[in-house]
Amino acid sequence: MKKGMAELTDTQIKALLRNYLRKILEEDENKRALGKKSWTAKEGLDDHVDAMAYLQHDCERELAIGNYSRATGAVDRLLAEKGIELDRDGLSYKKVCRGMLQVMINHLEIDIRRTRLDYSLDDLPFPLK
């Protein structure tokens, strides 16, 4: 670990990622309320859901093999926003990346359901694995 670099506890990582998921879900709903997240044609809706399901599958596969490249941009932006500096080769950074992939998977699942007007997952805390 480089001098001045932080390490985060598992509890801190989970809280950071839960807050991030909550924030992006709220932003999604604000876009829906403003009509910026809508699909007028049935085919457009189905295509959108299919694309999200495909991306979700990719994220699951990457999580399974430990490829965190899809998550690093979001992780770097989140850490910068929070003023947290982690060593990219350190355990905390890898755990945040792994958790970010889980957040992406959960976000896509919720977004797919909300696109279909199913808000049944909104009451679940969606624990990070």
Encode pLDDT of 6-41 as tens digits.
789 999 999 999 999 999 999 988 888 888 766 655
Would residue 27 count as lying in a domain? yes
The answer, yes or no, to whether residue 45 has pLDDT greater than 90, is: no
Which residues, including other chains, have CB under 8 Å from residue 1's CB and lie 6 or more apart? 7, 87, 90
Encode pLDDT of 94-128 as tens digits.
999 999 999 999 999 998 888 888 888 776 666 55
Would residue 109 count as lying in a domain? yes
Number of domains in the chain: 1
pLDDT of residue 1: 34
Would residue 124 count as lying in a domain? no
Would residue 82 count as lying in a domain? yes
Would residue 73 count as lying in a domain? yes
Residue 19, domain extent:
10-34+42-118
pLDDT of residue 2: 39
Would residue 79 count as lying in a domain? yes
Would residue 103 count as lying in a domain? yes
Encode pLDDT of 81-96 as tens digits.
999 999 999 999 999 9
Would residue 128 count as lying in a domain? no
